[in-house]
Amino acid sequence: MKSKLTPYYIDLIYDTCLKSFWRKKALSKFLRQCKISESSIGSWGPDESKRDILDMLFEKLPSSDNGRIVIMRMGKFLMEQRTFPDLKNWENSEIMLKEAHEAVSRLRIYHKKQEEQIQSEEDKQRTREEFRKKQQEISRSQLSLQKLNEQLNQLGQKLGTQKAGYEFQDWFYALLNFSEITNRKPYVHSGRQIDGSLTISGTTYLVELKFTTAQAGAPDIDTFYKKVTSKADNTMGVLVSISGYSSVAKKEASGDRTPLLLLDHSHLYLVLGGIMGLGDVIKRIRRHSSQTGEAYLAADQFTA
């Protein structure tokens, strides 16, 4: 039960309690159900009215945590009332029943408003917390992308060297891990070097990486095509050439049901700039390939 024990709420509980019972015995039974101590109930003198005992209780209970819990329990039980057996068969029962129903109704309405207000505050707090976490994630993401971007720029100063080629492999798999894309690092199969693989939406792509000053040409496409088509039917290939592709290479990689997708530096910088995720870049090129048979889609044509 979500409620704040405001003075008005306490007054409503007091009033509802007063109007729900006529006999002292019935009120005493209710107070025991609410865990009011026997010593408090036992102090009720024979000449004291219901109002006297309730005045004494409601003056004392709000001053302690346990007392406030008791008042909340009383409110809960009172709101659950649908009939008032203790108010029946009296000369003015009709009036007493009407007043009791009205008191319970006021208590329920206020309680519901409080719950809605508290729920609204909790929702706002949850939204603020989710926003804060999202901002932290974005901040961490930006820092990671910035670091990856700086690393790639540093590698660019050694473009074309064998050492840079191996470092580019490590860099690319760090990007896959950052992008939370399932992957397998480079391995050798049947005497052939495979630059690794990645899996997106249930499709496995063999990876080929070229960190050279020259564009990838038709021989590079032919070699990679043979690697890919020698695997399972649903296997595809992602070729990443940092310097791009010759027009002949793009043509050789394209065709009906081509299993190859071609990426270059411009696609990587879409990711490093926080514009698109790597998985989304690959999906976009694959969709284009499925629609046109073309293995390459320039980054600046993604919105077309």
User: Residue 152 domain-assigned?
Assistant: no
pLDDT for 43 = 85
Specify the pLDDT at position 304: 54
Please check whether residues 88 and 174 belong to one and the same domain. Answer: no
CA-CA distance, 111 to 26, in Å (whole number)?
Answer: 25
The pLDDT tens digits of the residues spanning 196-224 come to 899 999 999 999 999 999 999 999 999 99
Give me the pLDDT at residue 145, please: 85
Strand partners for 193: 188
The per-residue pLDDT for range 59-84, each reduced to its tens digit, is: 999 989 899 999 999 999 999 999 99
Mean pLDDT is lowest, of 77-86, 130-139, 260-269, for 130-139
Asked if the structure places residue 153 within a domain, the reply is: no
Rg of the chain's alpha carbons, rounded to an integer? 37
CA 64 to chain centre: 38
Q: 199: number of CA atoms within 13 Å, CB side?
A: 8
> 288 in a domain, yes or no?
yes
Could you tell me the residue range of the domain that residue 273 belongs to? 158-301
Looking at residue 237, what DSSP letter applies? Answer: E
For 76-120, write each residue's pLDDT tens digit: 999 999 999 999 999 999 999 999 999 999 999 999 888 888 887
Claim to verify: residue 164 and residue 69 sit in the same structural domain: no
Domain presence at residue 112:
yes
The Cα–Cα gap between 13 and 3 comes to 13
Indicate if 108 and 187 belong to the same structural domain. Answer: no
- Residue 140 domain flag: no
- Domain end, chosen from 98, 119, 140, is at 119
| pTM, entire model | 0.55
Confidence check: pLDDT of 263 > 90: yes
| 115 in the same domain as 243 | no
| pLDDT > 70 fraction of the chain, expressed in percent and rounded | 93
Residues 276, 174 within the same domain = yes
Helices (H) and strands (E) in the chain, counts: 11, 7
The letter for the amino acid at 61 is L
* Mean predicted lDDT score pLDDT of the chain: 89
**Whole-number percent of the chain with pLDDT over 90:** 63
Whether pLDDT at 126 is above 90: no
Mind listing the pLDDT tens digit for each residue in 155-203? 999 998 889 999 999 999 989 988 889 999 887 766 667 778 999 999 9
Could you tell me the CATH number of the domain that includes residue 265? 3.40.1350.10
Tell me how far apart the 2 most distant CA atoms of the chain are, in Å: 108
Q: In the structure, what pLDDT confidence band is assigned to residue 47 with cuts at 50, 70 and 90?
A: confident
